Protein backbone atom coordinates (compact mmCIF):
# COMPACT_ATOMS: atom_id res chain seq x y z
CA UNK A 1 0.00 0.00 0.00
CA UNK A 2 1.31 3.50 -0.84
CA UNK A 3 2.76 5.47 2.05
CA UNK A 4 1.50 8.93 2.89
CA UNK A 5 3.27 12.24 3.12
CA UNK A 6 2.36 14.54 6.01
CA UNK A 7 2.79 18.24 5.27
CA UNK A 8 5.15 19.96 7.71
CA UNK A 9 5.03 23.46 6.23
CA UNK A 10 7.29 25.43 3.93
CA UNK A 11 6.82 22.93 1.12
CA UNK A 12 8.28 20.02 3.10
CA UNK A 13 6.68 16.64 3.75
CA UNK A 14 7.36 13.77 6.13
CA UNK A 15 6.83 10.25 4.87
CA UNK A 16 4.62 8.12 7.09
CA UNK A 17 3.78 4.44 6.82
CA UNK A 18 0.07 3.70 6.65
CA UNK A 19 0.21 1.53 9.78
CA UNK A 20 1.80 4.39 11.72
CA UNK A 21 -0.83 6.77 10.39
CA UNK A 22 -3.66 4.51 11.54
CA UNK A 23 -2.12 4.14 15.00
CA UNK A 24 -1.78 7.92 15.24
CA UNK A 25 -5.43 8.41 14.32
CA UNK A 26 -6.54 5.90 16.91
CA UNK A 27 -4.55 7.66 19.65
CA UNK A 28 -5.84 11.08 18.60
CA UNK A 29 -9.38 10.28 19.79
CA UNK A 30 -8.20 10.84 23.34
CA UNK A 31 -7.45 14.51 22.64
CA UNK A 32 -10.67 15.69 21.04
CA UNK A 33 -12.31 18.70 22.69
CA UNK A 34 -15.80 19.79 23.63
CA UNK A 35 -17.45 21.94 20.92
CA UNK A 36 -16.35 25.57 20.81
CA UNK A 37 -13.68 25.30 23.48
CA UNK A 38 -12.03 28.68 24.22
CA UNK A 39 -8.62 27.32 23.19
CA UNK A 40 -9.76 26.22 19.74
CA UNK A 41 -11.77 29.36 19.08
CA UNK A 42 -8.78 31.47 20.10
CA UNK A 43 -6.46 29.59 17.73
CA UNK A 44 -8.74 30.12 14.73
CA UNK A 45 -9.36 33.78 15.64
CA UNK A 46 -5.59 34.34 15.82
CA UNK A 47 -5.19 32.86 12.34
CA UNK A 48 -7.92 35.22 11.12
CA UNK A 49 -6.11 38.20 12.64
CA UNK A 50 -2.85 37.20 10.96
CA UNK A 51 -4.54 36.82 7.56
CA UNK A 52 -6.37 40.15 7.80
CA UNK A 53 -3.11 41.89 8.66
CA UNK A 54 -1.49 40.70 5.41
CA UNK A 55 -0.91 43.57 2.94
CA UNK A 56 -1.94 41.24 0.09
CA UNK A 57 -5.29 40.19 1.54
CA UNK A 58 -7.16 42.83 -0.48
CA UNK A 59 -6.10 41.15 -3.72
CA UNK A 60 -7.32 37.76 -2.53
CA UNK A 61 -11.10 37.94 -2.07
CA UNK A 62 -11.53 34.25 -1.21
CA UNK A 63 -8.88 34.47 1.51
CA UNK A 64 -10.29 37.77 2.72
CA UNK A 65 -13.70 36.20 3.15
CA UNK A 66 -12.28 33.22 5.08
CA UNK A 67 -10.42 35.62 7.35
CA UNK A 68 -13.57 37.68 7.86
CA UNK A 69 -15.70 34.59 8.49
CA UNK A 70 -13.31 33.33 11.20
CA UNK A 71 -12.86 36.60 13.11
CA UNK A 72 -13.51 36.32 16.85
CA UNK A 73 -16.89 38.08 16.87
CA UNK A 74 -18.21 35.75 14.16
CA UNK A 75 -16.96 32.68 16.03
CA UNK A 76 -18.62 33.80 19.25
CA UNK A 77 -21.91 34.32 17.41
CA UNK A 78 -21.62 30.83 15.91
CA UNK A 79 -20.92 29.31 19.34
CA UNK A 80 -23.93 31.10 20.81
CA UNK A 81 -26.22 29.87 18.04
CA UNK A 82 -24.96 26.32 18.49
CA UNK A 83 -25.66 26.42 22.23
CA UNK A 84 -29.09 28.05 21.88
CA UNK A 85 -30.32 25.54 19.28
CA UNK A 86 -29.37 22.44 21.28
CA UNK A 87 -32.32 20.23 22.23
CA UNK A 88 -33.30 20.50 25.91
CA UNK A 89 -31.66 17.88 28.10
CA UNK A 90 -28.78 17.21 25.70
CA UNK A 91 -25.05 17.80 25.48
CA UNK A 92 -22.91 17.83 22.34
CA UNK A 93 -19.71 15.90 21.74
CA UNK A 94 -17.32 15.70 18.77
CA UNK A 95 -17.61 12.71 16.45
CA UNK A 96 -13.88 11.98 16.69
CA UNK A 97 -11.66 11.88 13.60
CA UNK A 98 -12.94 13.58 10.43
CA UNK A 99 -11.47 12.87 6.99
CA UNK A 100 -11.70 15.71 4.43
CA UNK A 101 -11.43 15.45 0.63
CA UNK A 102 -11.40 19.02 -0.81
CA UNK A 103 -12.80 20.03 -4.20
CA UNK A 104 -10.61 21.06 -7.12
CA UNK A 105 -12.85 23.84 -8.42
CA UNK A 106 -13.05 26.01 -5.28
CA UNK A 107 -9.83 25.38 -3.47
CA UNK A 108 -10.64 27.36 -0.32
CA UNK A 109 -13.76 25.37 0.61
CA UNK A 110 -11.84 22.82 2.67
CA UNK A 111 -10.63 25.65 4.93
CA UNK A 112 -14.22 26.28 5.99
CA UNK A 113 -15.13 22.64 6.58
CA UNK A 114 -11.85 22.12 8.46
CA UNK A 115 -12.49 25.21 10.63
CA UNK A 116 -16.03 24.08 11.52
CA UNK A 117 -14.89 20.55 12.31
CA UNK A 118 -11.99 21.83 14.41
CA UNK A 119 -14.20 24.25 16.33
CA UNK A 120 -16.68 21.55 17.30
CA UNK A 121 -13.84 19.50 18.75
CA UNK A 122 -12.81 16.94 16.15
CA UNK A 123 -9.37 15.81 15.03
CA UNK A 124 -9.01 16.26 11.26
CA UNK A 125 -7.13 14.73 8.36
CA UNK A 126 -7.21 16.72 5.09
CA UNK A 127 -5.99 15.14 1.84
CA UNK A 128 -4.44 18.02 -0.08
CA UNK A 129 -4.97 18.05 -3.86
CA UNK A 130 -1.76 17.89 -5.86
CA UNK A 131 -2.39 21.22 -7.60
CA UNK A 132 -3.03 23.62 -4.73
CA UNK A 133 -2.02 27.22 -5.43
CA UNK A 134 0.61 29.10 -3.48
CA UNK A 135 -2.08 31.31 -1.95
CA UNK A 136 -3.89 28.38 -0.32
CA UNK A 137 -0.66 26.72 0.76
CA UNK A 138 0.34 29.91 2.55
CA UNK A 139 -2.75 29.48 4.70
CA UNK A 140 -2.01 25.78 5.20
CA UNK A 141 1.52 26.76 6.29
CA UNK A 142 -0.05 29.07 8.85
CA UNK A 143 -2.38 26.32 10.08
CA UNK A 144 0.44 23.78 10.36
CA UNK A 145 2.58 26.27 12.26
CA UNK A 146 -0.15 27.03 14.80
CA UNK A 147 -1.34 23.44 15.17
CA UNK A 148 2.08 21.80 15.51
CA UNK A 149 2.36 22.71 19.17
CA UNK A 150 -1.28 22.04 20.01
CA UNK A 151 -2.56 18.63 21.13
CA UNK A 152 0.49 16.91 19.71
CA UNK A 153 -0.21 18.20 16.20
CA UNK A 154 -3.07 15.74 15.83
CA UNK A 155 -4.65 17.56 12.88
CA UNK A 156 -2.82 16.63 9.67
CA UNK A 157 -2.68 17.72 6.04
CA UNK A 158 -1.54 14.82 3.89
CA UNK A 159 -0.80 13.91 0.28
CA UNK A 160 -0.99 10.53 -1.41
CA UNK A 161 -1.92 9.19 -4.86
CA UNK A 162 -5.59 8.39 -5.36
CA UNK A 163 -5.84 4.76 -4.34
CA UNK A 164 -8.92 2.81 -3.22
CA UNK A 165 -6.94 0.71 -0.77
CA UNK A 166 -5.56 3.71 1.10
CA UNK A 167 -8.86 5.58 0.97
CA UNK A 168 -10.53 2.47 2.40
CA UNK A 169 -7.99 2.13 5.22
CA UNK A 170 -8.28 5.78 6.22
CA UNK A 171 -12.07 5.72 6.03
CA UNK A 172 -12.24 2.70 8.33
CA UNK A 173 -10.17 4.65 10.87
CA UNK A 174 -12.33 7.80 10.77
CA UNK A 175 -15.65 8.68 12.36
CA UNK A 176 -16.84 11.08 9.65
CA UNK A 177 -15.88 11.89 6.07
CA UNK A 178 -16.50 15.04 4.03
CA UNK A 179 -16.17 14.69 0.26
CA UNK A 180 -16.28 17.77 -1.98
CA UNK A 181 -16.34 17.16 -5.73
CA UNK A 182 -18.19 15.80 -8.72
CA UNK A 183 -20.64 12.94 -8.62
CA UNK A 184 -18.00 10.50 -9.93
CA UNK A 185 -15.70 11.33 -7.01
CA UNK A 186 -18.51 10.86 -4.53
CA UNK A 187 -19.51 7.51 -6.03
CA UNK A 188 -15.93 6.31 -5.62
CA UNK A 189 -16.29 6.70 -1.84
CA UNK A 190 -19.82 5.38 -1.42
CA UNK A 191 -18.69 1.78 -0.94
CA UNK A 192 -15.92 2.65 1.54
CA UNK A 193 -17.21 2.14 5.10
CA UNK A 194 -16.30 4.40 8.00
CA UNK A 195 -15.46 3.40 11.56
CA UNK A 196 -18.50 1.98 13.35
CA UNK A 197 -20.78 3.16 10.54
CA UNK A 198 -19.72 6.79 10.89
CA UNK A 199 -21.14 9.86 9.19
CA UNK A 200 -20.65 10.54 5.46
CA UNK A 201 -21.23 14.07 4.20
CA UNK A 202 -21.36 14.63 0.44
CA UNK A 203 -21.06 17.84 -1.57
CA UNK A 204 -21.60 16.82 -5.20
CA UNK A 205 -22.49 18.47 -8.50
CA UNK A 206 -24.95 21.33 -8.08
CA UNK A 207 -26.43 24.06 -10.31
CA UNK A 208 -27.25 27.59 -9.19
CA UNK A 209 -28.93 30.65 -10.69
CA UNK A 210 -30.44 34.03 -9.97
CA UNK A 211 -33.89 35.60 -10.27
CA UNK A 212 -34.60 39.32 -10.62
CA UNK A 213 -37.68 41.46 -10.87
CA UNK A 214 -37.80 43.21 -14.23
CA UNK A 215 -39.93 45.96 -12.70
CA UNK A 216 -37.42 46.54 -9.90
CA UNK A 217 -34.59 46.75 -12.43
CA UNK A 218 -36.52 49.32 -14.46
CA UNK A 219 -37.16 51.45 -11.38
CA UNK A 220 -33.62 51.20 -9.97
CA UNK A 221 -31.63 54.44 -9.76
CA UNK A 222 -28.24 54.43 -11.55
CA UNK A 223 -26.38 54.18 -8.24
CA UNK A 224 -28.42 51.16 -7.19
CA UNK A 225 -27.89 49.46 -10.55
CA UNK A 226 -24.14 50.01 -10.26
CA UNK A 227 -24.12 48.49 -6.77
CA UNK A 228 -26.13 45.51 -8.02
CA UNK A 229 -23.68 45.03 -10.91
CA UNK A 230 -20.73 44.87 -8.48
CA UNK A 231 -22.50 42.25 -6.38
CA UNK A 232 -23.43 40.18 -9.42
CA UNK A 233 -19.88 40.48 -10.73
CA UNK A 234 -18.54 38.99 -7.48
CA UNK A 235 -21.03 36.10 -7.67
CA UNK A 236 -20.09 35.33 -11.28
CA UNK A 237 -16.35 35.92 -11.51
CA UNK A 238 -15.13 34.62 -8.16
CA UNK A 239 -13.76 31.13 -8.86
CA UNK A 240 -14.65 31.60 -12.57
CA UNK A 241 -18.20 30.31 -11.94
CA UNK A 242 -16.77 26.94 -10.91
CA UNK A 243 -18.32 27.06 -7.44
CA UNK A 244 -21.47 25.03 -6.91
CA UNK A 245 -23.22 28.21 -5.75
CA UNK A 246 -22.04 30.38 -8.67
CA UNK A 247 -24.96 31.54 -10.86
CA UNK A 248 -24.96 30.45 -14.50
CA UNK A 249 -28.37 31.79 -15.41
CA UNK A 250 -30.51 34.80 -14.56
CA UNK A 251 -34.29 34.51 -14.66
CA UNK A 252 -36.05 37.86 -15.05
CA UNK A 253 -39.69 38.09 -13.99
CA UNK A 254 -41.41 40.38 -16.47
CA UNK A 255 -41.94 41.13 -20.14
CA UNK A 256 -38.91 40.63 -22.36
CA UNK A 257 -39.70 43.50 -24.72
CA UNK A 258 -40.24 45.94 -21.85
CA UNK A 259 -37.30 44.96 -19.65
CA UNK A 260 -34.47 43.62 -21.81
CA UNK A 261 -32.81 47.06 -22.36
CA UNK A 262 -32.43 47.47 -18.59
CA UNK A 263 -31.15 43.89 -18.27
CA UNK A 264 -28.61 44.57 -21.03
CA UNK A 265 -27.48 47.71 -19.18
CA UNK A 266 -26.97 45.68 -16.00
CA UNK A 267 -24.91 43.09 -17.85
CA UNK A 268 -22.76 45.79 -19.43
CA UNK A 269 -22.15 47.24 -15.95
CA UNK A 270 -21.13 43.77 -14.71
CA UNK A 271 -18.64 43.48 -17.58
CA UNK A 272 -17.20 46.91 -16.78
CA UNK A 273 -16.85 46.01 -13.09
CA UNK A 274 -15.03 42.79 -13.99
CA UNK A 275 -12.59 44.71 -16.23
CA UNK A 276 -11.89 47.26 -13.50
CA UNK A 277 -11.17 44.43 -11.05
CA UNK A 278 -8.59 43.03 -13.44
CA UNK A 279 -10.40 39.82 -14.26
CA UNK A 280 -8.40 37.71 -16.72
CA UNK A 281 -10.14 35.26 -19.05
CA UNK A 282 -7.77 32.81 -20.81
CA UNK A 283 -7.88 33.07 -24.59
CA UNK A 284 -9.04 29.47 -25.02
CA UNK A 285 -12.01 30.01 -22.74
CA UNK A 286 -12.86 33.36 -24.32
CA UNK A 287 -13.10 31.55 -27.67
CA UNK A 288 -15.30 28.87 -26.10
CA UNK A 289 -17.65 31.52 -24.68
CA UNK A 290 -17.90 33.23 -28.05
CA UNK A 291 -18.61 29.92 -29.77
CA UNK A 292 -21.31 28.98 -27.25
CA UNK A 293 -22.95 32.40 -27.63
CA UNK A 294 -23.06 32.10 -31.41
CA UNK A 295 -24.53 28.59 -31.19
CA UNK A 296 -27.27 29.75 -28.83
CA UNK A 297 -27.91 32.86 -30.93
CA UNK A 298 -28.50 30.61 -33.91
CA UNK A 299 -31.46 28.99 -32.15
CA UNK A 300 -33.69 31.89 -33.23
CA UNK A 301 -35.21 33.22 -30.00
CA UNK A 302 -32.03 34.78 -28.66
CA UNK A 303 -30.36 38.17 -28.33
CA UNK A 304 -26.62 38.64 -27.65
CA UNK A 305 -25.90 42.13 -26.24
CA UNK A 306 -22.17 41.93 -27.01
CA UNK A 307 -19.69 39.34 -28.24
CA UNK A 308 -16.58 40.58 -26.48
CA UNK A 309 -15.47 41.41 -22.96
CA UNK A 310 -15.11 39.54 -19.71
CA UNK A 311 -18.85 38.80 -19.56
CA UNK A 312 -20.69 37.26 -22.50
CA UNK A 313 -24.44 36.78 -22.18
CA UNK A 314 -27.31 35.46 -24.23
CA UNK A 315 -30.87 36.68 -23.61
CA UNK A 316 -33.95 34.54 -24.32
CA UNK A 317 -37.52 35.82 -24.14
CA UNK A 318 -38.79 32.46 -22.83
CA UNK A 319 -37.48 29.94 -20.28
CA UNK A 320 -35.58 26.86 -21.47
CA UNK A 321 -35.22 23.60 -19.54
CA UNK A 322 -31.46 23.59 -20.06
CA UNK A 323 -28.65 23.93 -17.51
CA UNK A 324 -26.05 26.05 -19.29
CA UNK A 325 -22.60 25.49 -17.70
CA UNK A 326 -19.98 27.36 -19.69
CA UNK A 327 -18.42 29.31 -16.80
CA UNK A 328 -15.67 31.92 -16.77
CA UNK A 329 -18.08 34.82 -17.26
CA UNK A 330 -20.91 33.34 -19.33
CA UNK A 331 -24.52 34.00 -18.36
CA UNK A 332 -27.82 33.06 -19.96
CA UNK A 333 -30.82 35.31 -19.25
CA UNK A 334 -34.38 34.00 -19.59
CA UNK A 335 -37.63 35.86 -19.02
CA UNK A 336 -40.43 34.22 -17.02
CA UNK A 337 -43.91 35.42 -16.16
CA UNK A 338 -43.79 34.94 -12.38
CA UNK A 339 -42.00 33.20 -9.52
CA UNK A 340 -44.43 30.29 -9.70
CA UNK A 341 -42.98 29.46 -13.13
CA UNK A 342 -39.52 29.28 -11.61
CA UNK A 343 -40.76 27.10 -8.75
CA UNK A 344 -42.04 24.57 -11.27
CA UNK A 345 -38.54 24.25 -12.81
CA UNK A 346 -36.59 23.58 -9.58
CA UNK A 347 -34.73 20.27 -9.53
CA UNK A 348 -33.10 18.26 -6.68
CA UNK A 349 -29.60 19.17 -7.92
CA UNK A 350 -30.27 22.92 -7.76
CA UNK A 351 -28.43 24.53 -4.87
CA UNK A 352 -28.35 28.35 -4.57
CA UNK A 353 -30.86 30.93 -5.78
CA UNK A 354 -29.82 34.56 -5.52
CA UNK A 355 -32.52 37.22 -5.86
CA UNK A 356 -33.13 40.92 -6.37
CA UNK A 357 -36.24 43.08 -6.24
CA UNK A 358 -38.76 40.88 -4.41
CA UNK A 359 -40.69 41.46 -1.21
CA UNK A 360 -40.08 39.05 1.70
CA UNK A 361 -43.62 37.70 1.39
CA UNK A 362 -43.06 36.86 -2.29
CA UNK A 363 -39.87 34.97 -1.47
CA UNK A 364 -41.53 33.11 1.39
CA UNK A 365 -44.38 31.96 -0.84
CA UNK A 366 -41.88 30.93 -3.51
CA UNK A 367 -39.73 29.01 -1.03
CA UNK A 368 -42.71 27.08 0.34
CA UNK A 369 -43.52 25.78 -3.13
CA UNK A 370 -39.95 25.31 -4.41
CA UNK A 371 -37.78 23.84 -1.66
CA UNK A 372 -39.62 20.52 -1.61
CA UNK A 373 -38.27 19.92 -5.13
CA UNK A 374 -34.78 21.35 -4.53
CA UNK A 375 -32.65 24.37 -3.55
CA UNK A 376 -30.82 24.61 -0.24
CA UNK A 377 -29.98 28.33 -0.24
CA UNK A 378 -31.98 31.44 -1.14
CA UNK A 379 -29.90 34.59 -0.59
CA UNK A 380 -29.59 38.13 -2.02
CA UNK A 381 -27.45 38.79 -5.11
CA UNK A 382 -23.88 39.25 -3.91
CA UNK A 383 -24.03 36.46 -1.32
CA UNK A 384 -23.87 33.43 -3.62
CA UNK A 385 -20.44 32.40 -2.36
CA UNK A 386 -20.82 33.43 1.29
CA UNK A 387 -20.13 30.25 3.23
CA UNK A 388 -22.31 29.36 6.20
CA UNK A 389 -22.32 26.36 8.50
CA UNK A 390 -25.68 25.52 6.93
CA UNK A 391 -24.61 24.41 3.45
CA UNK A 392 -26.24 22.15 0.86
CA UNK A 393 -28.91 21.18 3.37
CA UNK A 394 -26.43 20.26 6.13
CA UNK A 395 -25.90 22.07 9.41
CA UNK A 396 -22.22 21.16 9.70
CA UNK A 397 -21.97 22.02 13.38
CA UNK A 398 -24.63 19.37 14.06
CA UNK A 399 -23.51 16.84 11.46
CA UNK A 400 -19.98 16.86 12.88
CA UNK A 401 -21.07 16.37 16.49
CA UNK A 402 -22.98 13.75 18.46
CA UNK A 403 -26.03 14.64 20.52
CA UNK A 404 -25.98 13.01 23.95
CA UNK A 405 -29.14 12.71 26.03
CA UNK A 406 -28.63 13.59 29.72
CA UNK A 407 -31.54 12.91 32.10
**In-domain check, residue 388:** no
Looking at the fold, whether 149 and 273 belong to one and the same domain comes out as: no
**In-domain check, residue 386:** no
Looking at the fold, whether 255 and 117 belong to one and the same domain comes out as: no
Looking at the fold, whether 166 and 282 belong to one and the same domain comes out as: no
pTM to 2 decimal places: 0.89
What is the number of structural domains in the chain?
2
The H-assigned helical ranges of 249-332 are: 256-277, 283-297
**In-domain check, residue 135:** yes
**In-domain check, residue 390:** no
Looking at the fold, whether 188 and 245 belong to one and the same domain comes out as: no
The string of DSSP codes covering 246-259 is: SEEEEEEES-HHHH
**In-domain check, residue 11:** yes
Looking at the fold, whether 301 and 371 belong to one and the same domain comes out as: yes
Find all residues with CB under 8 Å of 363, minimum gap 6, and list them: 355, 378
> Apex CA 25: angle with CA 41 and CA 118, to 5°?
15
Looking at the fold, whether 240 and 336 belong to one and the same domain comes out as: yes
Bridge pairing between strands 350-356 and 377-380: parallel
Looking at the fold, whether 227 and 82 belong to one and the same domain comes out as: no
**In-domain check, residue 389:** no
**Domain CATH number, residue 321:** 3.40.309.10
Domain extent for 300: 207-380
Looking at the fold, whether 76 and 168 belong to one and the same domain comes out as: yes
Looking at the fold, whether 223 and 149 belong to one and the same domain comes out as: no
**In-domain check, residue 84:** yes
Looking at the fold, whether 330 and 193 belong to one and the same domain comes out as: no
Looking at the fold, whether 261 and 308 belong to one and the same domain comes out as: yes
Looking at the fold, whether 371 and 339 belong to one and the same domain comes out as: yes
**Domain CATH number, residue 46:** 3.40.605.10
> pLDDT tens string for the chain (407 positions)?
567 899 998 889 999 999 999 999 999 988 899 999 999 999 999 999 999 998 888 777 888 889 999 999 999 999 999 999 999 999 999 999 999 998 876 778 889 999 999 999 999 999 987 766 677 888 899 999 988 877 667 899 999 887 778 899 999 999 999 999 888 888 889 889 999 879 999 998 899 999 999 999 999 999 999 999 999 999 999 888 988 999 999 999 999 999 999 999 999 999 999 999 888 888 999 999 999 999 998 877 888 988 888 999 999 999 998 999 999 999 999 999 999 999 999 999 999 999 999 999 999 999 999 999 999 999 999 999 999 999 998 999 999 999 999 98
**In-domain check, residue 213:** yes
235-238's contacts with Cβ under 8 Å and 24+ in sequence apart are 235/210, 235/354, 235/381, 235/382, 235/383, 235/384, 235/385, 236/270, 236/274, 236/311, 236/329, 236/331, 237/274, 237/277, 237/279, 237/310, 237/329, 238/61, 238/62, 238/385
Amino acid sequence: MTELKVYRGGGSFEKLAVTDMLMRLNRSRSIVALPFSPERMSLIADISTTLRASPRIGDRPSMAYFAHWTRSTALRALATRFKETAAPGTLSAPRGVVLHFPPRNVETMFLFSWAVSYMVGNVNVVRLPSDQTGMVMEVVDLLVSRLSGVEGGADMFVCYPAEDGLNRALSRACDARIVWGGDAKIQAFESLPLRCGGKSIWFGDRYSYSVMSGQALSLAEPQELTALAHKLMADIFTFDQMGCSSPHKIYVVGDAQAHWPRVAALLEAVDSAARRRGTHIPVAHAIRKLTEALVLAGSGDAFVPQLSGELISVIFSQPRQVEDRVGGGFVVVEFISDLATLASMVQPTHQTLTYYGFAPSELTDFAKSAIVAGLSRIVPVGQALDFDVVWDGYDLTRELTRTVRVR
